[in-house]
Amino acid sequence: MPMIEMKNVSKWYGTFQVLADCSTQVEKGEVIVVCGPSGSGKSTLIKCVNGLEPFQQGEVRVNGISVGDAKTDLPKLRAHVGMVFQHFELFPHMSITENLAIAQVEVLGRGKDEARDRGLKLLDRVGLRAHADKFPGQLSGGQQQRVAIARALAMDPICMLFDEPTSALDPEMINEVLDVMVELAQEGMTMMVVTHEMGFARKVAHRVVFMDQGRIVEDDKKDAFFGSPRSERAQQFLSKILHH
Amino acid sequence: MLNLDFAFLTPQVVSSYVLKGFAFSLQLTLVAMLGGIALGTVLALMRLSSRPWLALPAAAYANTMRSIPLVMVILWFFLLIPLAIGRPLGAEMSAVITFTLFEAAYYSEIMRAGIQSIPRGQVAAGYALGMTYGQTMGLVVLPQAFRNMLPVLLTQTIILFQDTSLVYAIGAYDLLKGFEVAGKNFNRPVETYLVAAVLYFAISFSLSMLVRKLQQRIAIVR
């Protein structure tokens, strides 16, 4: 059973179709990169995985559980599907330690001390232990994003979703975030990553999904995708973002 | 000629006439503030709901309350509450209920603006961590909204404090009434109204200054 399975997912905003018949899957331990021009529906697609965006047709299953089913306990499902956002979305009124602990305590029911320890361990891991008592606003964008990754990991996720995790960062901060993600990928975390960072894709992705106008145009093994993308649209896209 | 004489306002006079009224004005302000903010927050959440059966009644409530002069609401409630509960209610109790319900309409608009000022991504982040709607609101959105809106909430409370003087319409014994009674007893109404005005001004103005100080201190660093 795949970790994430999307079958013929379609979504409309009014009459405008943002996702058209999207099907793909992510096996356990697999890393897939979703790329495509802006407005192609990548972010919407990844938000369908944990039900942050509702969809009108098709089916999404995470670890066998149907996301679109009204009977599914979405909070319970989401608690184990980590998500990292473009704008970090740390809680600005809480310290870094509290950011890491809050959902562990309130959602998973862990004790305060246990949650704190788990949070500090993960802060260590992303190299930010020294900032434990600061507030998000006191950290740089790259540091905030690393905290956001740690926050998601603190929930012991079965898979991780990344929605353009480096797009809002200054260029010199992108690598510190990508390094953490590469490490995660190499440890075998199941990851679905919306990004334009083709270096990251080349390094750790197993497959690359290319989207255009709400459709999945290519869904290929990494080497095949970078070697010879079949669609003209993907060729254009790659030539634009790789050659400059 | 205006011949002012404040000599009659001895500490004894103040404590026997004014203090009781002052205590009630403060009590009314505090209860209506706390109750109004609590109820206003619920109304704001209802109003922002995508479900019309929640949003419409909340909107109707806020719009109605905000379109009727307060003094009329005070009078109407004073007349209607006894009919509804079947027994008379003191002017003071009636005032507390009226002000709480009335101020809730204004506080709800403030809280609505506060909630809308929080980026949608914060809600998404709460949900993505497995939080329910209640947890996302209670732990993530409302604390930030409340903090952002604290100066405005307090400013509304200062207005509320001034408005408590309108309970004269139903004869409740508040700060103004205390001065009024003292003024009548000593036949010095001009002096007592003057002192009352100065006191209202002093309290409201110094609170406004405090709010301004607070405003500079609490801005959330994003």
Give the model confidence (pLDDT) of B26-50 as tens digits.
999 999 999 999 999 999 999 999 9
Interval A23-63: pLDDT, tens: 999 999 999 999 999 889 999 999 999 999 999 999 999 99
- Best B50, B120, B122, B129 residue to mutate vs chain A (most A CBs within 10 Å): B129
Interval A106-134: pLDDT, tens: 999 999 999 999 999 999 999 999 999 99
pTM: 0.90
Interval B96-125: pLDDT, tens: 999 999 999 999 999 999 999 999 999 999
Give the residue, A34 or A1, on which the prediction is more confident.
Answer: A34
The pLDDT assigned to B9 comes to 82
Q: How confident is the model at residue A183 (pLDDT cuts 50, 70, 90)?
A: very high
Q: How confident is the model at residue B87 (pLDDT cuts 50, 70, 90)?
A: confident
User: What's the mean per-residue pLDDT of chain B?
Assistant: 92
| Closest residue on chain B to A46 (Cα) | B128
| Closest residue on chain A to B122 (Cα) | A89
- How far does the CA of residue A210 sit from the closest CA of chain B (Å)? 24
CB neighbourhood size of A70 (10 A): 6
**Angle, CA A33 vertex, CA A30 and CA A38 arms, to 5°:** 160
Q: How confident is the model at residue A243 (pLDDT cuts 50, 70, 90)?
A: low
Q: How confident is the model at residue A244 (pLDDT cuts 50, 70, 90)?
A: low
- Say how far apart CA B118 and CA B125 lie, in whole Å: 12
| A93 pLDDT above the threshold of 60 | yes
- How far does the CA of residue A91 sit from the closest CA of chain B (Å)? 7
Binding-face residues of A in 25-84 toward B, CB within 8 A: 47, 50, 52, 74-83
Q: How confident is the model at residue B217 (pLDDT cuts 50, 70, 90)?
A: confident
Residue type at A222 in one-letter notation: K
**ipTM computed for the complex:** 0.95
| Closest residue on chain A to B123 (Cα) | A89
The pLDDT assigned to B84 comes to 87
Retrieve residue A132's tokens: 């434990």
Alpha helices for chain B (secondary structure H): 11-13, 19-47, 52-67, 70-85, 91-116, 120-128, 133-135, 142-163, 175-185, 189-218
A138 vs B221: CB contact, 8 Å cut-off? yes
CB neighbourhood size of B218 (10 A): 11
Q: What one-character-per-residue DSSP string does A10-78 give?
A: EEEETTEEEEEEEEEEE-TT-EEEEE-STTSSHHHHHHHHTTSS--SEEEEEETTEESS-TTS-HHHHH
Retrieve residue A150's tokens: 């740690």
- How far does the CA of residue A118 sit from the closest CA of chain B (Å)? 16
Q: How confident is the model at residue B165 (pLDDT cuts 50, 70, 90)?
A: very high
